[in-house]
Amino acid sequence: MDELISSDVESKITAKIANAQNKLKEIVKGIKKIDLQFFDLSSDIKPRKIAALDGGGFSQDFVGLTIIPSRAAGAIFEQNKDPIWIEEDDVEILTMEDDPKNYGSLFRDLLEVKVALQLLYYKPDILFLDGSITNFAYKGIPHSLQFFLENVKDINEGSYIEKFFNLYREFIQSSYKLITECILKNVILVGVSKDSRADILMKYLYRNSKKRPPINDVSLINLLSRGKQGFTKPIEFSPEISSVRKNIWKAAEVFQEDELQSFYLSYFVLKDGALPIRVDSLVPQKDKLKEIQEAMITYHDGNGFITPAYLTHKRAHMTSDYGNRIVNIIAERVLDDSPEIFKAFMTMRRRDIIQ
């Protein structure tokens, strides 16, 4: 049954809109005073051997555990040749102790890195990643675990903390290997974020100010570009390194080099009116910035994004139908083997039944 919106709710909505608009108008007034260099896009089209990848997944919560099917898909794209596809599917079964949200995210990210390493075998000129490169070194550590990870030598054997740390260590070691091999093999590594909410450029522009407007980089570019295509000058930035992260890097023997702790960042608007794309690259590959700009133009899909990233995103997407089939296989096998465990842990939650 359709619910009617009462006059009381409508009046509250009207008041909230007015308050929000007044606040945003003040922000816009200050932002428009910023002198941000926005450069015209090159017209150079230079086809190259491109690698790209993306990841996808599905998650099903039961009363006592979570099942997370995951997928990573990557391909080699070369002019006048069919794409060479590499795909990895896997599944994780997690109890409540395992912190399914954070562990599942890390599990998916590791799957993508594994596919990226396989793509290097084909010696691409450029490797497009889905998302920021900074995620490799600065992947988030849940606040609930930071205390336990202060000293990795004291982690109890067999505990969830050990399980998470082992997965985290495998992820950053694999990521570190990917970055160093790209540098060694002269493969340009580019992180492309289609829906970034970062405020790195804002922080850079307001680095000498005590107060910074509460908006992100994409909103900033939307305002200052006036909807026109172009790109911002790359800036070098270094995320803050916590003591926990330093300890983990040291224990895993990764990211000890200063030049691998910083990155370049730029924003591209590839079509008039399109959303800005965040583009990250490596400091040791700073001589490749012009090639990155040319690649963004060459592989523009005509709709404000880039074709290799779009195609791998489509391939990596895991439908709910496929995810449910994996979940059902697991459920059926658990039920056949132990009805007691199935009843205790794999009963559907009420909220999923009554929707």
pLDDT of residue 85: 97
Residue 49 pLDDT > 80: yes
Q: Specify the number of domains making up the chain.
A: 1
Report yes or no on 12 lying in a domain. no
> Cα–Cα distance between 55 and 114 in angstroms, integer?
11
Report yes or no on 34 lying in a domain. no
**Residue 349 pLDDT class (50, 70, 90 cuts):** low
What is the H or E stretch that residue 138 is in?
A: helix 134-138
Residue 261 pLDDT > 90: yes
Mean pLDDT of 109-133: 96
pLDDT of residue 5: 78
Residue 62 pLDDT > 80: yes
Report yes or no on 27 lying in a domain. no
Q: What are phi and psi of 274, to 5 degrees?
A: -80, 155
**Residue 321 pLDDT class (50, 70, 90 cuts):** very high
- pTM confidence score: 0.90
pLDDT of residue 189: 97
> Cα–Cα distance between 235 and 99 in angstroms, integer?
36
Report yes or no on 78 lying in a domain. yes
Report yes or no on 264 lying in a domain. yes
Q: What CATH number does the domain containing 211 carry?
A: 3.30.2170
Which of 33-37, 116-120, 172-176, 331-335 is predicted least confidently?
33-37
Kindly report, residue by residue over 193-230, the tens digit of the pLDDT. 988 889 999 999 888 888 888 889 999 999 888 889 99
Mean pLDDT of 66-80: 95
CA–centroid distance for 318 within its chain = 16
pLDDT of residue 353: 52
The boundaries of the domain holding residue 190 are 39-321
CA torsion sign, 191 to 193 to 198 to 199?
positive
Report yes or no on 63 lying in a domain. yes
pLDDT of residue 166: 87
pLDDT of residue 73: 97
Report yes or no on 235 lying in a domain. yes
Report yes or no on 330 lying in a domain. no
